[in-house]
Structure 1
Amino acid sequence: MGKVSKPKDKQRHDPLYKDLTTEGGNLRSKARGKKKEEKNEDEEYVDSASSRKILQLAKEQQEELEKEEREALREESKFSFGSRFTQGEEDDDEEEEEEEENYENISEFGGSDEEYEIDEEEINEDDARLFEQYLEQSQGSSSFGAGGSYNLADKIMASIREKEEKEAQLENESKAVQRPVDAVLLPPKVIAAYTQVGQILTTWTHGKLPKLFKVIPSLNNWEDVLYVTNPDAWTPQVVYEATKLFVSNLTSKQAEKFVQNVLLERFRSEIEDSEDHNLNYHIYRALKKALYKPGAFFKGFLFPLVQSSCSVREATIAGSVLIKISIPALHSSVALNYLLNLDFTPATTVFIRILLEKKYALPYQIVDNLVFYFMKFRILKEDSMYEDAKPSAPLPVVWHKAFLAFAQRYKNDITEDQRDFLLETVRQRGHKDIGPEIRRELLAGIAREPANNEDDKMADF
């Protein structure tokens, strides 16, 4: 079936003008009573053309009234206080004449200057006080605007100057206060942000590190920013991740500072604080990652550790890292030469033995220094120049193990004279179990040809 089309002429309701013409504004098509119908019949309605004319006439009349009012205001303004200063000399003369006439009229009635007084109304004290305050403010604000006006721009400028004065005062006070030695010269926002980062790192165990922490190696003042995060309170997991981040992104000298200030201190504190004096697994992994740059590891970790009161336990744990990680021969040679020039300690001998057991092809200069190092421990005569090197106690087993490692690895790199001096050292300072092994290794080696400078050194012994 098709749709039934509705007539378009029919409206949903009467137009608005019809609704306005009805009484009460209701939609009604019929009058309510006979009286209203009679009233509507008697009334006459004006068509649209006539209403336009009426409105036009009313508009014109209104414009004429406004024009007359403006003219009246202009005439009154001529006699205002401001316009009196713009009039010519003739107006001034007329005013003076009028004042003289008024004065004469007053004198005719028997008045005098003293009797001509103005009656003043009584003024409230509070109103007078408010008026005086207003005058003071207006006089004080006369410098801000023209003619003593004080607008919004003047208020803004005054607030800006007041703020600048406060900032200058605070700056002077901060300069007067003496800064602590370990103060960090950073903006307050940076300190606040990285303090919050440090609080996060105290509980961080896994996941992604904060982005603010990852950008620290790219900063010029990365040491100051790192100090704000409080590395002593980091978790071991953070120390491992931070070691990877800083050692890989910083230069060798900068990584040396991080290893010495963060990793070394954490290494020692972990061993001291643990009950069984073991190292945390994550700190141990961090030591391995620090060897990514051997120069930074030796200068920032190994050498400061040995120079301080390093225990054999700490040396053994740190040495196990050297055993597992491959180190370039040049770095190992330099580190070995540095350890040989230090005073004898069991911890130093542990690292010497570990580096010897890595079986590097050491230069002859390092081999000769090793020979002189072990020869110093033999019993010398009273008039010898090496009397200060004479040991006062039995040598530890660590020293004998290091001597055995040297004899096993470099027995073919020493001269015949050096072998004889080393055999004499074994005879005087040998161990009952390790001494025979050292002697056997030295005798099994093939001597190399000595150089002239080596003969001179041997003559000193």
Structure 2
Amino acid sequence: MGKLTTSETKVKEHHKPLYKDIVHGAGRFKTASQNSGRDSTSEQKDGEDQDTIIDSKATRKILQLAKDQQEEIESEENRFGKRVDDPFVKFQVRQQQDEDEDDFTEEYDEMKAFEGSDGEEYDGEFEGEEEYVNEEDAKLFQSYFKSEQSFPEGSFNLADKVMAKIEQLQAEAERKNEKPVDAVLLPPKVIQAYQTIGTLLTTWTHGRLPKLFKVIPTLKRWEDVLYVTNPDAWTPNVCFEATKLFVSNFGSKDATKFVHMVLLERFRASIEDSDDHKLNYHLYRSLKKSLYKPAAFFKGFLFPLVEERCSVREAIIAGSILAKVSIPALHSAAALSWLTEQDFQPATTVFIRILLEKKYALPYQTVDNLVFYFMRFRVINGQVADSVKNYYDPANKPSEIPPMPLVWHKAFLAFAQHYKNDITDDQRDFLLETIRTRGHRDIGPEIRRELLAGVPRTENTDERMEL
């Protein structure tokens, strides 16, 4: 076959179809196998258009390009409000709308069927769409919101959650503050150890005390620890050793608590339970040791004993302790001032007489309180003071004015003997009037003689400090 001329080559290249370039070139489109063996010249002569088959990869790319083109056209329509007249685009848009309508119709039918079966509203989920929720996750989710009882309208805003949290914290704080009066907040091991020590102290009489007991005064919660040992069951020997230990190591405030908690009840129980109504010797020594801190003795023992209206025998036994132990003058003066302000009872007068017989140089304020104390027992127009009236007749309607007890006359005589030079002339006249109306046949003349023998007090001589 001869070579083609240049003109023929140009003509053939000019009239060569694009199909030939696609098939024989480097493109991705390939012809079917049945057309590969045919001669290109015969195909050109026949002039028939052969069908081509596109592979799946190319098809996906074409569809993706079409979809991108469709989305671009729709965005342009939404932007400029124009319609596109491309038939292919219109077909794709219409097909997508039909599919959305079919999906909506199916969901609507399912919703109507669900409402018709149970009569409940559709919430967007069916049985097939339910998911398993862990109980811990559900509790954690509910903890962030309050229940419907707290929110009748079903609102869950931030302010409601904050207020709910504040109320919860306040309720917890109140529950923590509300504890039993006799509660002991101590570790179980500590309670067990000191209960064992308390059992040992119920029979202890001599020897060394346990080391755990000796360290109680150094503890911050010493009251609770001491309560665990059950002080009511201690032997009197333990009370004496404990008084020396605690009173010497404590300050006035803590020593007052110890004396009131341990010694006061043991003192009254010992006198009441004994056959001869006497105080145990070791408890007597314990009270004498407690006077090492006078303020603790008066505030923790003497004043509560008077407020509980003790008997005269209890007052005489406790007063004998006061008589044997030296007490600072200011503490005695403060105790006398407090006793004169109480309602009349014989036990109070016993303590007043014992403190007066110590012959301390009392401030003028205390002396004036004692004068007013004895003056209020005068009989004026057939009447006495309410404090005296309440003692003899609780109904406040005495048929006659009873005589004063002997302890009162003894206390009056002690005051006249030791403080007759510390009163004024007016006070002496009032005291003489009291002796005239409420005197004793044997002690009354002695009191009158002592008062008349005294030198009146002047404001410029021997000024004493006030209490």
Letter in 2 for 1:406: F
Pick the structure with greater CA Rg: 2
Change in 2 beyond 3 A, CA 1:389/1:211: closer
Matched with 1:186 is 186
Say if 2:428 is the partner of 1:419: yes
**Where does residue 434 of structure 1 map in the other structure?**
443
Answer whether contact 2:416 2:450 (CA < 8 A) is retained.
yes
Q: How does 1:438-457 map to 2 (within 5 A)?
A: 438-449=447-458
Supply the distance in 2 between the matched residues of 1:199 and 1:442 (Cα, whole angstroms). 59
* 1:380 to partner: Cα distance: 1.0
Moved over 6 A (4+): none
Q: Tell me how far apart the structure 2 counterparts of residues 397 and 227 of structure 1 sit (CA, whole Å).
A: 42
Could you tell me whether the CA contact under 8 Å between 1:315 and 1:351 is conserved in 2? yes
For 1:401, the equivalent position in structure 2 comes to 410
1:260 counterpart residue number:
260
- Does the C-alpha gap of structure 1 residues 192 and 361 become closer, same or farther in structure 2, counting only changes over 3 Å? same
Q: Which residue identity does 2:235 align to in structure 1? A: T
Query: Which one-letter code corresponds to 1:260 in the other structure?
Result: H
* 1:352 aligned partner: 352
| Counterpart for residue 317 of structure 2 | 317
CA offsets 1:410-437 (integer angstroms, 9 cap, x no match): 0011111111111111111000110011
Q: Map 1:157-176 to 2 at 5 A.
A: none
- If asked which structure has higher relative contact order (CA below 8 Å, sep 6+), I would say 2
2: CA distance between counterparts of 1:214 and 1:254? 16
Identity %: 74
Shift of 1:389: 4.8
Q: Deviations over 1:31-54 (max 9, x none)?
A: xxxxxxxxxxxxxxxxxxxxxxxx
1:336 aligns with 2:336: yes
The letter of the residue matching 2:443 is: I
Distance 1:363 1:292 in 2: 23
One-letter identity of the residue aligned with 1:410: Y
Q: Secondary structure at the match of 1:183?
A: coil
Q: TM-score, normalised by structure 1?
A: 0.58
Q: Is the 8 A contact 1:379 1:390 kept in 2?
A: no
SS of equivalent to 1:322: helix
Task: Answer whether contact 2:247 2:290 (CA < 8 A) is retained.
Answer: yes
Instruction: Determine the C-alpha separation between the residues in 2 that align with 1:308 and 1:183.
Output: 26
Amino acid at match of 1:341: E
| CA separation of 1:332 and 1:182: change in aligned 2, threshold 3 A | same
Partner of 1:229: 229
Give the drift of 1:181. 3.4
Change (3 A) 1:341 1:190: same
The alignment partner of 2:422 has SS state of: coil
- Secondary structure at the aligned position of 2:421 is classed as coil
- Report the counterpart of residue 388 of structure 1 in structure 2: 386
TM-score (norm 2): 0.57
Aligned to 1:326: 326
The 3 A distance-change label for structure 1 pair 390 and 302 is: closer
Aligned partners of 1:380 and 1:390 also within 8 Å: no
The answer on whether the counterparts of 2:376 and 2:385 sit within 8 Å (CA) in structure 1 is: no
Rounded to whole Å, the distance in 1 between the matches of 2:385 and 2:292 is 42
Which residue does the alignment assign to 2:365?
Answer: 365
Gap regions ≥5 residues in structure 1: 1-174, 452-461
Distance (whole Å) between structure 2 residues aligned to residue 302 and residue 238 of structure 1: 22
Aligned to 1:241: 241
Aligned residue in 2 for 1:289? 289
Provide the aligned C-alpha RMSD in A: 1.8
- What is the identity, as a one-letter code, of the residue corresponding to 2:274? S
Q: Is the 8 A contact 1:415 1:450 kept in 2?
A: no
Equivalent-residue separation in structure 2 for 1:320 and 1:181 (angstroms): 36
Q: 1:261 to 1:387 in 2, by over 3 A?
A: closer
C-alpha spacing 1:190/1:403, structure 2 compared with 1 (3 Å): same
Deviation at 1:381, TM superposition (A): 2.6
How many residues in Structure 1 have an aligned counterpart in Structure 2?
A: 274
Deviation at 1:341, TM superposition (A): 0.3
